Structure 1
Amino acid sequence: MKWYAIHTRSRHEKQVDLFLGERGIETFLPLVHTLSRRKDRKEYVDIPLFPGYMFVYADKERLFDVKYTRGVTRIIGTDVDVPTPIPEKQILDIKFILESDVQLDPFPYLQKGSMVRVKSGPLKGLEGVLVERKGHYKLVIQIDLLQKGAAAEVFISDVEPV
């Protein structure tokens, strides 16, 4: 059993999550609680951290069921029709950061930057890339296969180089 990323139809992540759950397949759909501004109202909604993507925990045999679930367009892999597993540590890091009470923003994938470890605070023990954005420091946790990441605000005094 390994974690795999799947690509869904546009704005179908929650529906695919429901369909896969009905089939008994473990899923992980990271959601961010954010304020939605419409013309006539404002309300808080849960939106996917990685729009168009979600994760499944399955073995190779169950991937057939995943692939042919309504709303799934493909299983992400480095080669056509060859699903590539995602390291469990990356999934656990995203779960940990979602459970902590910090501001979370979607963040583009970075290839350059300093690897750091958080030594104190609510994110203690997490490792990621330290970046500066709009005068604030952020710890970026990345999903390499998707080339996407999430950034959580940290104090520079709470991090140390890896």
Structure 2
Amino acid sequence: MKQWYLLYCKRSEQKRAKLHLENQGVACYYPETAVEKIVRGKRQIKSEPLFPSYVFAHFDPETGPTFTTIRSTRGVIDFVGKGATPQVLDDSLIETLKEIEQLQLHSQCDSLPAKGDVVRVAGGQFSGIEAIYQEADGETRSILLVKMLSKPVEVSVENRHLEI
């Protein structure tokens, strides 16, 4: 009977391990999450592993491939388990992770507004002021245009204080 197991892989070789395992007929699950990052001054959404260095494998060790075959697969270090026995995972755990991943894909939208959008500052020293969003200022702050003394002025505000 096929069951889920958790494999510990070499650093940054989860995708390689997944590819080689799938070539052996092993179903694999490698959950990823979208992370917003500032790369060279531009906001980008990058895909990163939810569990770095780990891959879920679904197979029946009695009908093949064996635990030894899986352990010797390129990129795999060993099974996660109790002592020398690999730990069997509950199917509901994998189903829940897949549901969460699908929900994230459907609800994925930029958390920051587009340039030129009107936003309201909800906290901090500019609390209650409406401003025009300009650009991201690092990973946790944004540059806004605020009207002061009839003149637009750029200010940097923490993203957690913005209301779209």
| TM-score, normalised by the number of residues in structure 1 | 0.57
Q: Secondary structure at the match of 2:69?
A: helix
Structure 1 residue 78 displacement after superposition: 1.5
- Match runs of 1:7-156 below 5 Å: 7-39=8-40, 41-60=42-61, 61-62=64-65, 63-79=67-83, 81-100=84-103, 101-102=106-107
Give the gaps of 5 or more residues in structure 2.
109-164
Amino acid at match of 2:73: T
Amino acid at match of 2:98: K
Give the gaps of 5 or more residues in structure 1.
104-162
Larger Rg computed on CA atoms = 2
Superposed structure 1 runs of 4+ greater than 6 Å apart: none
2 CA distance for matches of 1:35 and 1:4?
30
Q: Secondary structure at the match of 2:82?
A: coil
Amino acid at match of 2:7: I
Structure 1 residue 4 displacement after superposition: 0.2
> Would you say how many aligned residue pairs link Structure 1 and Structure 2?
102
1 CA distance for matches of 2:88 and 2:70?
14
2 CA distance for matches of 1:77 and 1:96?
25
Amino acid at match of 1:66: I
Structure 1 residue 6 displacement after superposition: 0.3
Q: Deviations over 1:84-125 (max 9, x none)?
A: 10001111111111111357xxxxxxxxxxxxxxxxxxxxxx
Q: Secondary structure at the match of 1:36?
A: strand
1 CA distance for matches of 2:11 and 2:85?
22
Structure 1 residue 41 displacement after superposition: 4.9
2 CA distance for matches of 1:9 and 1:16?
9
**Which residue number corresponds to residue 139 of structure 2?**
none
